[in-house]
Amino acid sequence: MELWIPITIAAAFLQNLRSVVQKHLKSVMETTGATFVRFGFGFPFALFFIGVLHFGMGYSLPALNPTFFAWAIIGGIGQITATFLLIHLFSFRNFAVGTAYSRTEPAQAALFALVFLGEKVTAGVIAAIAISVFGVMLISVAHMHVSWRTMLSSLLSRNALIGLASGTCFGVSAVFYRAASLSLGGPNFMMQAAVTLGFVIVFQTLIMFGWMLWKDREEIGRIAKAWKPALFTGFVGASASFGWFMAMTLQQAAIVKSLAQIEMLFTFASSVFFFREKINRLEIAGCIFIVGGILMLLAVG
């Protein structure tokens, strides 16, 4: 088994755990604060990862270069924009269509990797990505009165366009993060990923903290009061991101993001076994498509 596979699965599990904690934080702070927590409380751990690799394991620090800064900054802005667009969708009554289209991130990442990095994927990988994306889109509309005919006919609706824009920004950020990490050229994939993560997460923290100082200073106080769960969120979030960055240094972003759809299975496992929630037929069908897409990806990727 190639190393990027277990790294991606572990990252997906940690991201699911982070999402669970962030849902709790949403009850004590606004969306902006809950989003900031993953960056503001995550950057100390990102810097800790760099310290362990450098001082503990003896790996040298890579020399940063203008190309790295360009890829990393655009990727960081893209991720923040994608997150805000996705959160914005939830302010609409019928957000299912938009959310479903935001899940096209792996497919869009494949396109952007071809445009910006010249990376190509095989027909088998494209089919695997399409199958898993279809499964995730099924799950996204499982509890809504939305048909596939409605989804296709509403392709140019506001919600769909916002969802597609969110998926676009997520896809761009993933590809640019891979490019930033690869531009460092060593000493190894772990240090490349750690340094990329460290720079990006500090940059994102400064951007979001500055925004709250300007627009919503009261939110900073709410974040401070919830520092204990926020610290845990920062830890699992930074750990998940470290996993994503390592995996995307080793493998194309589109393929990593396609396997990352396994996070949905972890979500359903949590719902069924811990929260005793029931899942419907569309959700079961979606899980089957996701598993089928992942198995096909591992077979042909």
**Tens of pLDDT along 265-286?**
887 777 677 666 677 787 788 8
Q: Quick check: helix, strand or coil at residue 144?
A: coil
Task: Give the mean model confidence (pLDDT) for residues 12-32.
Answer: 78
Q: What is the DSSP code (8-state) at residue 58?
A: -
Instruction: Report residue 157 as tokens.
Output: 């609706």
Query: For residue 73, what pLDDT is reported?
Result: 96
Query: For residue 30, what pLDDT is reported?
Result: 78
d(CA 101, CA 80): 18
Task: Give the mean model confidence (pLDDT) for residues 184-207.
Answer: 95
- Say which residue the tokens 């089919």 belong to: 127
Asked if pLDDT for residue 172 goes beyond 90, the answer is: yes
Residues 164, 154 contacting (CB under 8 angstroms): no
Q: Which of 140-154, 165-179, 267-281 has the lowest mean pLDDT?
A: 140-154
Residues 16, 266 contacting (CB under 8 angstroms): yes
- pLDDT, averaged across the chain: 86
Q: Give the range of the structural domain holding residue 185, as residue numbers without chain letter.
A: 4-300
Which amino acid does the sequence have at 137? M
Query: For residue 161, what pLDDT is reported?
Result: 85
Residues 205, 43 contacting (CB under 8 angstroms): yes
Which amino acid does the sequence have at 202? V
Q: How many distinct structural domains can be found in the chain? A: 1
Task: Give the mean model confidence (pLDDT) for residues 25-52.
Answer: 87
Work out the pLDDT band at 153, boundaries 50, 70, 90. low
Task: Give the mean model confidence (pLDDT) for residues 42-58.
Answer: 95
d(CA 83, CA 15): 14
CA nearest 295: which of 163, 54, 127? 127
Task: Give the mean model confidence (pLDDT) for residues 58-84.
Answer: 93
Asked if pLDDT for residue 51 goes beyond 90, the answer is: yes
Which amino acid does the sequence have at 20? V
Asked if pLDDT for residue 133 goes beyond 90, the answer is: no
Work out the pLDDT band at 64, boundaries 50, 70, 90. very high
Q: Percent of the chain, pLDDT > 70?
A: 87
Q: Which of 17-21, 36-40, 168-172, 248-252 has the lowest mean pLDDT?
A: 17-21
Q: Of 265 and 151, which is predicted with more confidence?
A: 265
Distance of CA 7 to the CA centre of its chain: 14
Q: Of 30 and 234, which is predicted with more confidence?
A: 234
CA nearest 32: which of 239, 222, 197? 222
- Say which residue the tokens 């037929």 belong to: 281
Residues 257, 109 contacting (CB under 8 angstroms): yes
Asked if pLDDT for residue 95 goes beyond 60, the answer is: no
Longest dimension (CA), the chain: 57
Asked if pLDDT for residue 196 goes beyond 60, the answer is: yes
Task: Give the mean model confidence (pLDDT) for residues 110-118.
Answer: 90
> Would you report the helix, strand and coil content of the chain in percent, each value rounded to 5?
80, 0, 20
Residue 101's φ and ψ, nearest 5 degrees, are: -70, -25
Tell me the whole-structure pTM to 2 decimals.
0.87
Q: What is the DSSP code (8-state) at residue 105?
A: H
Asked if pLDDT for residue 74 goes beyond 80, the answer is: yes
d(CA 267, CA 20): 9
Instruction: Report residue 79 as tokens.
Output: 């991720």
Query: For residue 197, what pLDDT is reported?
Result: 97
Query: For residue 279, what pLDDT is reported?
Result: 74
Write down how long the chain is.
Answer: 301
Task: Give the mean model confidence (pLDDT) for residues 32-47.
Answer: 89
